[in-house]
Amino acid sequence: MLDPAELRKTLGCFLTGVTVITTQNAAGERRGFTANSFTSVSLTPPLVLVCLSEKASSFEAFSEADHFAVNVLSENQKDISALFASKQQDKFASLTTSTTAGSPILEGTSAWLACSTHQKVDCGDHIILIGKVEALGRSDAAPLGFYSGNYFTFRQEREAIDASHEASGIVGGIFEKDGNILLIRRDGTYSLPTGQTLGEKNFEPKSLFEILKKAGIDVSVDFVFSIAHEDGDHRAGVYYRGRITSFATPADSGFVLVPITSIPWDAIKSLNQRTMLTRYLRERTESRFGIYVGTAAGGAIKSLAVGAA
């Protein structure tokens, strides 16, 4: 039998946005709940769905509703997400809203969709609400993200990447597989893999992706982890964190998988890389990652995961 806690952690590996689902009954009573179990179903007809636990306080209201709205929260609305995930009685009292197609629309969202209830499906311990989109809207506000039990915002990553454009630099990565970190071993020293660019779009022989692929290593990138000038020069080093999806490299390639418990700290000559790895292991344990912007000597960590839902 599956462990529910482990299932929750595994499902949490799927990066999502954050929504607040709202409705209003004939008596004018408004209800809402926070959900990241939202997805598009169909464009023709325009259908979306959201899931609601049968244990939710608003379960009865939504199971009887003939309309509801999906409010896609912006990065500045973490407090609203927390509000609608709480047991507070009147969750709308301090908010500015409008009404479209019978449902409350929250102000300041990244997007919204007002729906008529197309179908309701009882499924396990949840009900699936399928809505037909009757009206919609969107703004330039950056969306709020949710990953592995924590909120994050994309604006922080964009700002960190922009900061790296001030000087030509290198692109590196901290890539993990089964509790091992990918390092390059040469002449008794170790370093993180690097390239001139990331190499996402076109074939670039000196890009990080192509260098790793040539060695028989495939990786996936999650987020920017650090922007810091390299030791002793003015090159900006942009480092990502990610995962190794395939490792079939020959023994003489120089690439090795090193257990996180046995990292050869004294053999890593780059102060910048030693500092990054130290922070990576700490934040990995806490499951709360950030983006470092600065130099090897000093800088600031901009929080990426800023709170739990």
For the segment 111-157, what is each residue's pLDDT rounded down to a tens digit?
999 999 999 999 888 999 999 999 999 998 888 888 666 776 666 55
Give the contacts of 6 (CB within 8 A, at least 6 positions apart). Answer: none
pLDDT of residue 156: 55
d(CA 166, CA 226): 15
pLDDT under 50: residue ranges of the chain: 164-167, 201, 304-309
Distances (CA, A) of 42 to 17, 19, 51, 102: 19, 19, 16, 22
Which residues make Cβ contacts (< 8 Å) with residue 138, sequence separation at least 6?
Answer: 110, 111, 112
Task: List pLDDT tens digits, range 78-100.
Answer: 999 999 999 888 899 999 999 99
Torsion of CA 39, 44, 46, 47, to 10 degrees: -50
Identify the structural domains of the chain with CATH numbers, from first to last: 4-147 (2.30.110.10), 154-303 (3.90.79.10)
Residues facing 111 on adjacent strands: 72, 138
Separation CA 308–CA 287 (nearest Å): 11
List of residues 6+ apart from 58 with CB closer than 8 A: 31, 32, 33, 52
Neighbour count for residue 246 (Cβ, 10 Å)? 12
Nearest to 21 by CA among 72, 91, 70: 70
pLDDT of res. 248: 92
Instruction: Please report the pLDDT score of residue 144 as a whole number.
Output: 87
Cβ pair 104, 112 in contact under 8 A: no
Phi, psi of 4 (to 5 degrees): -55, -35
> Taking the model in full, what pTM does it have?
0.58
